[in-house]
Amino acid sequence: MLAKRIIPCLDIRDGRTVKGINFENIRDAGDAVELARIYALQGADELVLLDITATHEKRKTLYELVGRVAAEVNIPFTVGGGISTVEDVGMLLSNGADKISVNSAAVRNKKLIAGIADKYGSQCVVLAIDARQEEGRWIVYLNGGRVHTGIDLYDWAREAEQLGAGEILFTSMDHDGTRDGFALDALRHLSEHVRIPVIASGGAGRMVHFRDVFTHGIADAALAASVFHFGQISIPNLKDYLSSQNISIRPQLK
């Protein structure tokens, strides 16, 4: 059995880490580079950095931030936010990112996934999907949850896999920031629907939620933000707990 991964997520706005609830009510959570360094030291398996206010004008700032994070951590990290061209990907990788997350741009231009995969490999491409449950269906949203697409979560995930995506990062907008647990049934169905790894996002509040997402939700990795940023859960304690629950996790770096 492959070891499960614990992934802190840093939502970035103007170089600071922020966090909201249901994609709203944003508040400051600390310096992005310092948090990345701390999480790497604590034993996080990977990191995700999402620039939530990404614009072309601010792209240089993001490149610089990625370089500063790369200098401080010794674990893989994924960068997303406003990436719309293969050239964007090349710049981020050259500044130290290991993987790239694409979301809205990939829905609007499906060739983007294939283009990145062809040039840099599928292992580099993480497709982020934000979705909300509506009348029994999970529907994909774009632009930070502001644009309804009518696209089915599972159909889009399978298509993205065929296009060359190497992982799916699924965020339940209904669960985001609530700390009431992950969308377990949706995650289980998604994990059974595709052959590539699924990263669960949205809803972590207690350590038992991580146990449940790996057992019932059969996710390959669990991503969380506020519970780590604000000290409700420490990564070393979480890994000890998961190990006690007979869940395979990666050993902490010494």
- Catalytic residue check, 31: no
Contact indicator for 126, 100 with CB cutoff of 8 Å:
yes
The kind and range of the H/E element at 134 are strand 125-134
Question: Which CATH class, in words, describes the domain spanning 5-244?
Answer: alpha beta
User: Which position among 11, 88, 212, 220 bears the catalytic label?
Assistant: 11
Lowest mean per-residue pLDDT among 28-42, 100-114, 197-211, 231-245 = 28-42
Indicate the burial class of 252 (C-beta count within 10 angstroms; 0-12, 13-18, 19 or more).
Answer: middle
Say what the pTM is: 0.93
175 contacts: CB under 8 Å, gap ≥ 6? 181, 182, 183, 202, 203
Who wins on pLDDT, 145 or 253? 145
Let me know if 152 is a catalytic residue: no
* 130, 176, 212, 220: the active-site residue: 130
User: 196-254, pLDDT tens digit by residue?
Assistant: 999 999 999 999 999 999 999 999 999 998 899 888 999 999 999 999 999 999 876 55
